[in-house]
Structure 1
Amino acid sequence: MVKEAARYTLVGQKLYRKGFAFPFLRCLEVGEAEYVMKEVHEGICGTHIGGRALASKIAKAGYYWPTLRSDCMNYVKKCDKCQRFAEGHRAPLERLHSTTSPWPFCKWGVDILGPFPMAPRQIKFFIVAVDYFTKWVEVEPIATISAERVKRFLWKKIICRFGIPTEIVSDNGTQFAFRSMVEFCEGLGIKQIFTSVEHPQSNGQAEAANRVILKGLRKRLEEAKGRWAEELPQVVIPVEIGESSARTALFEPSENED
């Protein structure tokens, strides 16, 4: 009891737990814990993440209660949207193929998704780009697909923000293989790597981001499909910062004070 009590302290009238990897974590009562779980899981910036990721996100926000991990796991199991839109199919295991990128923002995977239900300003598609090194994601809704639109996206979202990449991986659709697009890349010294439209796995980084984004949109929108462009930034946030992997999610900071 004495050892356990040493891990807690009072600040004013609030009880806090001393953490190993985090600053003081405020201890919550039952009602407060339920509110925090609901807000983080499905609130304004919530994207219906899994139980372990939810517990980790709450701890990073500065909150704690003894049954945090188990409560988060049970909360996700009872979430209607999480159960209805969960991925029920798992592809058979395959040998992993390594992809190399020597430094951040050197190699990007680019893809276009759509058409989606018509959004304001006749938006029906979006472009997604993923950096192979950092897994950083850039997304922009668009009304039409063209080489000029792709060039503007690359210039505005990638080149002006992160510098000129050395390689861009995309399918061999007209918008990427059109003459003006090829000349644009050659002029900047960017190497284009084309994959087959029938074999999207060759651009695995972009495909992985696509799955997470589409999954998040389904959970947030349900019947309000026309609002997908408005919800896109909120869905991209957890893709950019990265959700906990199975390995890091098993690490419990509050149990490693000693």
Structure 2
Amino acid sequence: MGAYLAEEGCWTEDFKVYLLQGTLPQKEEDAEHVARQATAYCIQDVELYQKRPNNVSFRCISREQGHELLADIHGEDCRHHSLSRTLVSKAFRSGFYWPTTLNDASELMRSYEACQFHAKKIH
């Protein structure tokens, strides 16, 4: 896969600042969210990772980088017209995470006409 580096101003920044410096966002609801969710994340080599119960960590990337990753995976696998969940599992197996993964994969699949043509038809 290509190089997916964290971008400035993406969703990971609040978590990185909190875990490295202990500083919460200014808005109260954002601060509560970050403080509550921060236990699921860790910093490794100055990058944010999401911790999983099975001791596997996923590298956190921005939504834009996630779109690129899904497009790369789908481009390699387009002939199969797989479901969005399959696409998400391949992104996770590649070791990457972002919070809107499933929604982004669904949007991507809806944007490809060939995938819509081969989708299951519910009667």
TM-score (norm 2): 0.61
1:86 maps to amino acid: A
Residue of 55, 75, 86 corresponding to 1:53: 86
Higher-helix-fraction structure: 2
Q: 1:18/1:28 Cα in 2 relative to 1: closer, same or farther (>3 Å)?
A: same
Q: Which residue of 1 aligns with 2:109?
A: 76
For 2:64, which of 23, 31, 38 is the aligned residue? 31
Q: Which runs of 4+ in 1 moved over 4 A?
A: none
Distance, in Å, in 1 between the alignment partners of 2:60 and 2:111 is 24
Query: Which secondary structure state, in structure 1, belongs to the residue aligned with residue 81 of structure 2?
Result: coil
Note the C-alpha offset of 1:58.
1.2
Matched to 1:67, the amino acid is: T
Secondary structure at 2:53's aligned position in 1?
Answer: coil
Residue number in structure 2 paired with 1:253: none
Following TM superposition, by how much is the alpha carbon of 1:89 offset from its aligned partner in structure 2, in angstroms?
7.0
Equivalences for residues 180-199 of structure 1 within 5 A: none
- What 5-or-longer segments of structure 2 have no aligned partner? 1-33
CA, structure 1 residues 36+65, in 2 after alignment: closer, same or farther (shift >3 Å)?
Answer: same
1:15 and 2:22 matched: no
Q: 1:188-213 CA distances to partner (integer Å, 9 max, x unpaired)?
A: xxxxxxxxxxxxxxxxxxxxxxxxxx
Identify the structure with the greater strand proportion: 1
Identity %: 25
How many equivalent residue pairs? 89
Note the 1:1-150 alignment, pairs <5 A. 1-21=34-54, 23-43=56-76, 45-46=77-78, 47-88=80-121
SS of the residue corresponding to residue 48 of structure 2 reads strand
Q: Is the CA contact 1:41–1:54 (under 8 Å) kept in the aligned structure 2?
A: yes
- Decide whether aligned partners of structure 1 residues 25 and 53 sit closer, same or farther in structure 2, where only a CA change above 3 A counts: same
Q: Deviations over 1:62-120 (max 9, x none)?
A: 11101111111121122221012334376xxxxxxxxxxxxxxxxxxxxxxxxxxxxxx
Larger radius of gyration: 1
3-state SS of the aligned residue for 1:58? Answer: helix
Q: CA deviation at 1:41?
A: 1.6
**Which runs of 5 or more residues in structure 1 are unaligned?**
91-258
> Any idea what SS the aligned residue of 1:6 has?
helix
Q: CA RMSD in A?
A: 2.1
